[in-house]
């Protein structure tokens, strides 16, 4: 019978989410199932581009709401 234990695999280490499997004296086969869509990271934005966009929102007489909206759009 197969039993399922959930863990997060990161940095070549496993962190058990709930209950860890019992320790055994013999080896067991482990299958890793990866969600490829979630593990694909978005390309990081260049810090200079972010600063240029942030600088553009200063000094134009905009309200705080307009500035917050522009910052949220950049995120």
Domain coordinates in residue numbering, the chain: 7-74
pTM to 2 decimal places: 0.37
Q: Are 53 and 74 in contact (CB under 8 A)?
A: yes
Instruction: Please list, in sequence order, all residues whose beta carbon lies within 8 angstroms of the beta carbon of residue 40, skipping any fewer than 6 positions away.
Output: none
pLDDT in tens, 11-63: 888 889 888 888 888 888 878 787 767 555 667 778 877 777 777 655 567 77
């Amino acid at each position: 019978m197969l039993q399922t234990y959930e863990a997060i695999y990161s940095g070549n280490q496993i962190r058990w989410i709930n209950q860890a499997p019992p320790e055994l004296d013999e080896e067991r086969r482990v299958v890793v199932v990866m969600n490829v869509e979630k593990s694909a990271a978005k390309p990081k934005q260049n810090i200079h581009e972010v600063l240029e966009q942030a600088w553009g929102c200063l000094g134009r007489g905009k309200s705080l709401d307009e500035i917050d909206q522009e910052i949220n759009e950049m995120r």
